[in-house]
Structure 1
Amino acid sequence: MVFWFVCYLVVVWLISASDESCPELPFVENGIIVIKEVEGQILGTCLCIKGYHLVGEKTLFCNASVEWNAPVPTCRLGHCPDPVLVNGEPSSLGPVNVNDKITFKCNEDYILKGSNWSQCLDNHTWMPPLPVCKSRYCGPPGNPAHGYFEGRDFNSGSTITYHCEDKYHLVGTRDQQCVDGEWSSALPICELIQEAPKPIPQTAFEKALFAFQENKELCKAIENFVQRLKENNLTMEELKYSLENKKAELEAKMLS
């Protein structure tokens, strides 16, 4: 404490002796400011004690406006939180000083996900973020609804094959491989196969269409048309399908 008080008095005395019009610099906790005159200009250099790092401008000078060119810097504790790598090992296990870099390595059967190095920044954070070590082996894959997979080996390099139940078809990748702890593709899905509507019997089809021939009033004809569809248990979708079939038959006859 006596040492820092003496340093503070020396700084104040030097400033006052060199240029009485320059404002006094405040005390820097965990550091000192060394004042000197260079070519008629007052310069202040801030130094931090061991274990602390400087945040801000290291060198200050009194400008023409009789003001210091930048705010007084601070001295912060000079290391980042200890790096932790589960199933791996960083190159340094102890406190890492600001601006220092470390590297990472995973244990056998584990693969590094993320950057293999990181640097301790001024704000005591790691950048890039610390990586993780992930197992090279994949866990059991999921089953899609109405589907299943074949394969019992989930180790790195193994493959599985997906299948769907009857009346369903697979959408996605059928064969997948375990690559560095992850399956090579997203889980596929099993979609219901849409069955085509059954063709409408010709008699029922004709009865529905005759409604337009029997009545010249459009509204009345439409009403009769809908009524006959209901009487014959027909839907508009089935009628559309039958019309398309009829059109295809006529086109085929014209081409033959």
Structure 2
Amino acid sequence: MAENDYPVLAVRDTIIFPHMVVPLFVGRDQSLRAVQAASEAQQPLLIVAQKEAEIQEPGPEDLYSVGTLAAVSRVLRIPDGSTSVLIEGRQRAQIDEFTQTRPYLRARATPLLSIETARPPVLEALMRACLALFEKCVHLSQNLPEEALVTAMNADEPGWLADVIASTLNLPIAQRQEILETLEPSVRLQRLSILLAKEVEVLELENKIQTQVQEEVEKNQREYLLREQMRVIQSELGEMDTQM
């Protein structure tokens, strides 16, 4: 195969970022063949998101043009017939052209480098602001793992920090893809700071509503118990009056 020609794994409802180490469950025949080809050739797998998750056999026109080159670390067969593939995201890549569609997709792609710039104080401030907002999100949310916060705190590069946050937040696929396609780390962080601020606002409101509901439930329970106690007392008093 030509240089920079990679097996393509189309994925649904997820975006793989550089630095991510995640298991993917693969069941479609063309996906299994792509994983097998990458594993046997010991070459990166180009992971690209589908535009529409419902499409069962995606073609070139059904995929975004930017994906992530990933190393295949482990392939494990599952009893239900699917395959678990442990992958490690390495680098963004732009698809130049598809070179094969059957029995699995292959594409020639150009690896993309983040547009690294000097780190002026404003960029350091942006990193700290995003990290602080992300920490708030993790503490307010029941769905964001503490491990993600630890990873973010250890991310010493602006682009890496942005990718960690983007991969953890529950964002629509289109928004994640937009961040994947943004090569300048400072722009990624600026976009994420806006999304994080909105998420914090929503989570704070959600927690406030949950607290109010819980207080109302507890109040109703207390009132119910008091009414039951009064009913029992009145019943006992009634029996005593009858006996007298």
Q: TM-score, normalised by structure 2?
A: 0.22
- Higher helix proportion, which one? 2
Q: Which has the larger radius of gyration?
A: 1
Q: TM-score, normalised by structure 1?
A: 0.21
- Higher strand proportion, which one? 1
